[in-house]
Every structure is written in structure tokens, then in C-alpha cells.
Amino acid sequence: NAGVMQNPRHLVRRRGQEARLRCSPMKGHSHVYWYRQLPEEGLKFMVYLQKENIIDESGMPKERFSAEFPKEGPSILRIQQVVRGDSAAYFCASSPGQGRETQYFGPGTRLLVL
């Protein structure tokens, strides 16, 4: 299966802990996007990355959230000092290029903050 892979699928953290979400794009895709879905809402854009570069992080909260896509390995979305409001489904998507290239989504990581 050459689809977008995300792990873990479910993550439980206590308030104040760190959450690390991983995303491996589809084979041949070098563009990665992170979206967040709160309950009963649509997906909201967070950040767009290419290898070793953050292209657009306009949807990321200013504090506690960071993302990277290193030369080797998966893209990581990191949430420091999690709060209950961070509980959501986090989806990663990838595309071979940008512009009119369709984004293909992974299965998501469901984060629950206790």
C-alpha cells in the first residue's frame, strides 16, 4: 500500500505533555500538508511543507505547535504542553507538486488530551 501513512492512529496525552504525530507521504510525493478537524467541523489547513522547508504555516497556532519535514524520514507535527482544546483529528496529506495537484490524505491521528 503506497498511500499516505500516519502514526500513531490514536494518541492519548495528559495536559502539559508533548504530542508527536508522524506522516509519511505517498511514494513520489514531496509536498506535505497538515490539517486539523475539530468535532463537527470541516478540516482546517495548518501547514504546508516541502523537504527541509516550511512553505506556509499560516494555519498553525502561534505557540506550542511546530512542524518539520526533514531530508530523511517522515514529517512531524509537534504539539508542546498540550491542552484539552488540542483534542482533534489531525490529518496529513501529500501531493507530487503544488498548485492543481490533488492532495491525498492519510487515515489521521486522533489526539485526546485528558
Residue with cell 498548485: 99
- When binding is defined by CB under 8 A, the residue of 19, 26, 43, 113 that contacts another protein is 43
**Distant-in-sequence, close-in-space partners of 38: CB < 8 Å, separation ≥ 6:** 44, 88
Strands 10-13 and 19-24 turn out to be unpaired
Rounded to a whole number of angstroms, the minimum distance from the CB of residue 108 to another protein is 5
How many C-beta neighbours within 10 Å does residue 46 have?
Answer: 21
Rounded to a whole number of angstroms, the minimum distance from the CB of residue 72 to another protein is 23
Residues 85 and 81: their CA atoms lie apart, in Å, by: 11
Q: Does 25 bind another protein (CB under 8 A)?
A: no
- Are the C-beta atoms of residues 18 and 78 closer than 8 Å to each other? yes
- When binding is defined by CB under 8 A, the residue of 1, 42, 62, 84 that contacts another protein is 42
Q: Does 24 bind another protein (CB under 8 A)?
A: no
- When binding is defined by CB under 8 A, the residue of 40, 62, 71, 85 that contacts another protein is 40
Binding site for another protein (CB under 8 A): 4, 6, 31, 33, 35, 40-45, 48, 55-56, 58-59, 91, 95, 98-100, 102-108, 110
